[in-house]
Amino acid sequence: MAITTTTFRGLAFNILVEEFNDRDAVGHLNGYLASIYRQDTETSACHLIRRSRLPGAAEIMRQEIQHDGIRAFRRLALA
């Protein structure tokens, strides 16, 4: 069982991505959950934006933020 946390820093808020992977001894995926939070920089309060069970969902979010930059943050702020 592995939990990976990635933080994308912004001026007004941060995006926190938590990934949960559970694999058996052979390496097959038993469970996956990606949770994306909006974290206020002043209070550190987190608000759940999106949750996905599709493997690789957090990687798609990382690519979107790298490609679109601040526009990706704006879309998440409206969600």
pLDDT in tens, 30-69: 888 888 888 888 888 888 888 888 887 778 777 877 777 7
Per-domain boundaries in the chain: 2-78
Angle at 28 between CA 31 and CA 1, to 5 degrees: 50
Predicted local distance difference test score (pLDDT) of residue 61 = 75
Main-chain dihedrals φ then ψ at residue 76, nearest 5 degrees: -70, -30
pTM for the model: 0.70
Q: Which residues pair with 38 in a beta bridge?
A: 15, 47
Q: Which helix (DSSP H) or strand (DSSP E) does residue 69 occupy?
A: none
Predicted local distance difference test score (pLDDT) of residue 70 = 65
Residue 18, both tokens: 């938590």
Res. 12: pLDDT tops 60: yes
